[in-house]
Amino acid sequence: MIRLLWRFGLLVLVAAGFAWLADRPGTLTIRWLGREIEMSFIAGVVMAVLAVVILWFLWSLFRRLWASPQAMGRYFAGRKNRKGYDSLSRGIIAAGAGDATAAAKHAAIAGNALSDEPLVNVLAAQAAQLKGDRAAVKRIFEAMTKSPDTEALGLRGLFSEARQSGDVGAARRYAERALAANPRLAWASSAVLQLQSAAKDWGAAAATLGQQIKLGLVPAPEGNVKQAAMLTAQALAEEDKNRAQALELALKAHKLDPALVPAALVAARVLITQAATRKASKILKETWVLSPHPELAELQAHLIPGDSPDSRLDRVRDLLKEDKGGLEGAVALARAAIRAKRWDMAREALKSWSGNRPQARVCALMADIEDANGDKGRAREWLSRALTAPRDPIWVSDGVASPRWTPVSPVSGEIVPCEWKAPFEMPEQLEPDAPAAQPTALPEPPPKSIEAPKIMVQQRPPDDPGLPEDFDPPQSPGRRQLPADG
């Protein structure tokens, strides 16, 4: 509509111009080559306009004739490109459908028509993968890495091929190269982190996690937890070699995740060797409130090496002032009381947890209490209940139990720090115990020559590491055991 109005306005202006010239007649005389041409002024204007139109038409015709070869070339090139893109589209569909023959055919056609199209290499790689020609796939991806536009895509393809073939070193090199070219590549960052953690390169893994948090590739809370796990693993590795470095790493991990038990344990152990017991106790109490754990209580009790069991009991009771700790607090208090020979206190601590289906460690502690009080029958009763009692807590990661804390899942290889919990129980183990009959008299212990009865072992659940029923977890996620009481 606007164009029509413009044209109408132009015609009006032309008509007005000619009317203005008609109202002002005049004569135009042209002398050229001994001749004289005389005409009216308006006729001269019309002839000049016609001359300009004719010249413009001749110039346009000449340009078209001059550019006709290029126009024909562009026409055939466009036709070839249309054919190539049509083959490229058909090839991608065929590759998605799993038709290796059709995908290879269309890839060849598209490659001849579209030599500079990156998607042609992608289609050719897919066709080669469908055929199982890994040499061709690798060659295509290596060619893609030579172009800045397709370098990242080629590196990802080479990484996938190396991982499938089991070449971990090559896979890590390709992922690191892609990450160096573009730090925001999520797949490259995740792959590098997984390979670094699998190789126990904790320092590099912590640096990669820090970069992920900085770039926003992972949420900050999740990234801090994972980075704390990496720093803790590095601190455990350095504890026996470089205590100063281990303390620095453990304190960083504790700051990122105060609930991480192994970080608090490493920091406290090193601080105890430096006679900084007050700072060690502060760290242990901070973690105990968030994650009650028996090793925290053990280390709190042994803040001062060589002191009396009563002093250790007092420090455990001081720890429980911060938080009772549920079952973990009760077990820790009972153990400290038993070592101090405070049997009534130990029994009172376990009173709320020794009812229906107590854990094996509770049964063992109750057996120690009854044995110390001279009730051998009830001691044996508690030991027999310990054989079928629910399992004690242990470090579990992705359903796999481990006697020691590990920062990496043994199933997926991802950074999944262990959790302190009871492993999976079989359904028949969850049934309540039948009430035990009270013995009228203490039975005599069997002679040593009599063979002990055989106990049928139940089938272990999938996350059971195969440890014996009476397995007592080590007192430290590292390698160091606390000294036994004198």
Selected residue with higher pLDDT from 443 and 37: 37
What's the rounded Cα separation, in Å, for the pair 118 and 72?
A: 26
Whether 109 shows a pLDDT value over 60: the answer reads yes
Considering only 60-64, 175-179, 327-331, 378-382, which range has the smallest mean pLDDT? Answer: 60-64
What is the arithmetic mean of pLDDT over 76-82? 71
Q: Is the pLDDT of residue 484 over 80?
A: no
**pLDDT value at 377 more than 80:** yes
Check residue 127 and give its pLDDT: 83
Decide if pLDDT at 467 tops 50.
no
pLDDT tens-digit series, residues 142-175: 888 888 888 888 888 889 888 888 888 888 889 8
CA distance readout (Å), 421 to 173, 310, 359, 400: 38, 30, 12, 11
Backbone angles phi, psi at 31, to 5 degrees: -110, 120
Return the C-alpha torsion angle 12, 15, 20, 21, nearest 10.
Answer: 150
Model confidence at 413: pLDDT above 90: no
312 in Cβ contact with 324 (< 8 Å): no
pLDDT given for residue 284 in this prediction: 94
Q: What is the pLDDT of residue 75?
A: 63
Q: Residue 101 has what pLDDT?
A: 83
295 pLDDT exceeds 60? yes
- pLDDT at res. 483: 39
CA dihedral 187, 190, 191, 192 (to 10 degrees): 120
Confidence of residue 298 (pLDDT cuts 50, 70, 90): very high
pLDDT given for residue 287 in this prediction = 94
pLDDT in tens, 235-244: 999 999 899 9
| Helix, strand or coil, per DSSP, at residue 30 | strand
d(CA 347, CA 337): 9
Mean pLDDT of the chain, nearest integer: 80
Could you tell me the pTM of the whole model?
0.65
- pLDDT value at position 265? 95
Average pLDDT over residues 203-212: 87
Q: Which of 28-37, 219-228, 245-254, 261-270 has the lowest mean pLDDT?
A: 28-37
- Pair 478, 239: CB distance under 8 Å: yes
* Per-residue pLDDT at 477: 40
pLDDT tens digit string along 331-371?
999 999 999 998 899 889 988 888 888 888 999 999 999 88
Domain boundaries, the chain: 7-29+38-82, 133-218
38-42, 110-114, 213-217, 293-297: which is most confident: 293-297
User: Cα separation of 124 and 59, whole Å?
Assistant: 48
pLDDT class for 268, splitting at 50, 70, 90? Answer: very high
CA dist 29 and 38 (Å) reads: 4
- Nearest CA to 465 among 415, 364, 396? 396
Domain 133-218: which CATH class? mainly alpha
Backbone φ, ψ for residue 415 (5° rounding): -80, 100
Q: State residue 73's pLDDT score.
A: 67
Give the amino acid at 299.
L
pLDDT reported for residue 261: 93
**136 close to 126: Cβ distance less than 8 angstroms:** no
* Least confident residue range of 63-72, 227-236, 364-373, 424-433: 424-433
Residue 257 CB: number of other CB atoms within 10 A? 23
pLDDT value, residue 427:
42
Alpha helix ranges (H) inside 291-375: 294-301, 309-322, 326-339, 343-350, 360-372
Mean pLDDT (whole number) for 419-444? 50
- Predicted pLDDT at 77: 64
Q: What is the mean pLDDT of residues 408-426?
A: 78
Cα separation of 257 and 388, whole Å?
36
Higher pLDDT, 287 or 479: 287
pLDDT score at 70? 76
Give the residue from 333, 360, 329 showing the smallest Cα distance to 344.
Answer: 333
Look at 471 and 141; give whichever has higher pLDDT: 141
Does 322 score more than 50 pLDDT? yes
- Residue 432's pLDDT is 42
pLDDT for 207 beyond 80: yes
Q: If you average pLDDT over each of 71-75, 231-235, 403-407, 431-435, which comes out highest? A: 231-235
**pLDDT cut 70: percent of the chain above it:** 86
- Give yes or no for residue 308 having a pLDDT over 80: yes
